[in-house]
């Protein structure tokens, strides 16, 4: 029989090589791509980070997080307002933005966590819409529906390439931290709650506390993504808090694979590409996205990345079975 242990290092080595190659390409983008594509790559990183933070609560925690964009938008406004209206160092905006989003996540979580599933999601949409309405109407502070333009970001990241590198580094660190959280015992418990909350509670797990912690963590990283958008675009606007962007983030998770860690990043890349390039040919780019989503739901319910992972695992099992069969035949011949 084939020793399964001997098959372990090869996939890990292959995965490591792919990761290193991807990182090299990401760091080379500003040197080989025009400025517009560097900007689009940064936007993909921002949306991918926001969608991954959503997936921490939705895909791995089982929370019906239907208005995640409110934390993303509040993080952006928190960073932009500190840079615009105070004399403090603009670098503090990248700290204050995520902290404000975390505080909002804690407050909304304490209110919503008493409910479950669809009721949780609907109450969160209501509270998030209330926050959006405040931002939309408060002209003297938030700029109202005009938003805030020309945010004075630090000089070090004022160029498009430096803003991209800053966004890339912060995104990589954030993704690593979220990955470690999900691989820790807390992440395992969270996935157990997602699969069977009743049984988890019966064995002594405080379900609501773990769900609240997941929501707060997701809110923090959504705020990080929002503050990074300020670094890339130097603007904020009320639509960043609107529920339609929340649904886009949900679509990113479903499209890429909501039970995989990197799936939302892939989904973000697809959504941004569709919005940018398909919209140059037709105003009905959302119709194209809808058709793609229908096909994914019917034929790839685990998402694109989830399907690719299952496909690679299937090929690995097939090769192992073929090796076992050949060894059995050779032993039979002896």
How confident is residue 321, by pLDDT bands cut at 50, 70 and 90?
Answer: low
**Most confident option among 29-33, 34-38, 222-226:** 222-226
47: confidence class by pLDDT, cuts 50, 70, 90: very high
Burial level of 3, CB count in 10 A (0-12/13-18/19+)?
Answer: exposed
Give dist(CA 100, CA 282) in Å, integer.
38
Give this prediction's pTM.
0.89
- Dump pLDDT digits (tens) for 260-281: 999 999 999 999 998 888 888 8
Q: Cα angle at 304 between 312 and 297, to 5 degrees?
A: 125
Average pLDDT rounded to a whole number, residues 156-160: 93
In the chain, domain spans? 19-302
The span from the CA of 247 to the CA of 219, in Å, is 16
Which of the two residues, 56 and 311, has the higher pLDDT score? 56
Both structure tokens of 3: 């020793």
**Secondary element (H or E) of residue 225:** helix 207-233
d(CA 225, CA 170): 9
The average pLDDT across 232-236 equals 95
Contact 129, 67 (CB under 8 A): yes
Confidence category of residue 194, pLDDT binned at 50, 70, 90: very high
Q: Compute φ and ψ for 115, nearest 5 degrees.
A: -100, 170
Please write the tens of the pLDDT for every residue from 89-147: 999 999 999 999 999 999 999 999 988 888 999 999 999 999 999 999 999 999 999 99
Look at 5-19, 114-128, 213-227 and tell me which has the smallest mean pLDDT: 5-19
Residue 288 CB burial class (10 angstroms; 0-12, 13-18, ≥19):
middle
Q: Does residue 4 have a pLDDT over 50?
A: no
pLDDT at 324: 53
CA 56, CA 81: separation in Å to the nearest integer?
28
pLDDT of residue 260: 92
Return contacts of 252-255, CB within 8 angstroms, 24+ apart.
252/47, 252/48, 252/51, 252/54, 253/51, 253/54, 253/55, 253/58, 253/59, 253/303, 254/293, 254/296, 254/297, 254/303, 255/292, 255/293, 255/296, 255/303, 255/304
Which stretches of the chain are assigned E, i.e. beta strand? 148-149, 235-236
Provide, rounded to the nearest whole percent, the portion of the chain with pLDDT above 90. Answer: 72
Which pLDDT value is given to residue 295? 87
CATH classification for the domain delimited by 19-302, as one of 1.10.1200, 1.10.443, 1.10.3470, 1.10.10: 1.10.3470
Q: Tell me the pLDDT tens digit for each residue of 61-93.
A: 999 999 999 999 999 999 999 999 888 999 999
Query: Is residue 57 a contact partner of residue 66, using CB atoms and an 8 Å limit?
Result: no
Return the pLDDT at 285: 79
User: Residue 289 — pLDDT band, cuts 50, 70, 90?
Assistant: confident
Cα separation values, 6 from 11, 66, 297, 304, 320, Å: 11, 44, 37, 29, 11
Predicted confidence (pLDDT) at residue 2 exceeds the cutoff of 60: no
CA dist 63 and 120 (Å) reads 8
Report d(CA 172, CA 175) in Å as an integer: 5
């Amino acid at each position: 029989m084939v020793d399964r242990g001997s098959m372990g290092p090869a996939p890990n080595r292959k995965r490591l090589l792919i990761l290193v190659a991807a990182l090299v390409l990401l760091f080379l983008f500003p040197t080989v791509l025009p400025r517009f594509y560097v900007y689009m790559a940064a936007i993909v990183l921002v949306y991918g980070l926001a969608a991954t933070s959503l997936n921490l609560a939705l895909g791995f925690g089982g929370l019906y997080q239907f208005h995640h964009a409110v934390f993303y938008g509040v993080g952006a406004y928190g960073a932009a307002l500190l840079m615009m209206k105070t004399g403090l160092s603009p670098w503090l905006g990248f700290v204050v933005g995520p902290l404000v989003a975390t505080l909002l996540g804690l407050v909304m979580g304490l209110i919503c966590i008493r409910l479950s599933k669809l009721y949780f999601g609907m109450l969160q949409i209501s509270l998030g819409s209330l926050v959006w309405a405040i931002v939309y109407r408060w002209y003297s502070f938030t700029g109202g529906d005009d938003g805030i333009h020309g945010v004075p970001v630090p000089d070090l990241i004022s160029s498009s390439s430096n803003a991209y590198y800053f966004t890339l580094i912060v995104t990589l660190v954030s993704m690593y931290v979220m990955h470690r959280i999900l691989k820790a015992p807390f992440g395992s418990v969270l996935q157990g709650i997602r699969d069977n909350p009743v049984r988890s509670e019966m064995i002594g797990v405080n379900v609501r506390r773990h769900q609240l912690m997941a929501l707060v963590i997701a809110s923090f990283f959504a705020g990080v993504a929002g503050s990074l958008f300020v670094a890339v675009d130097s603007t904020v606007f009320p639509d960043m808090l609107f529920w339609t962007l929340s649904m886009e983030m949900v679509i990113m998770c479903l499209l890429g694979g909501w039970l995989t860690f990197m799936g939302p990043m892939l989904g973000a890349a697809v959504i941004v590409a569709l919005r940018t390039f398909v919209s140059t040919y037709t105003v009905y780019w959302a119709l194209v996205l809808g058709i793609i989503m229908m096909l994914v739901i019917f034929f790839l319910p685990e998402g694109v990345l989830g399907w690719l992972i299952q496909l690679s695992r299937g090929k690995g099992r097939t090769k192992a079975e073929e090796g076992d069969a050949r060894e059995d035949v050779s032993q039979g011949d002896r």
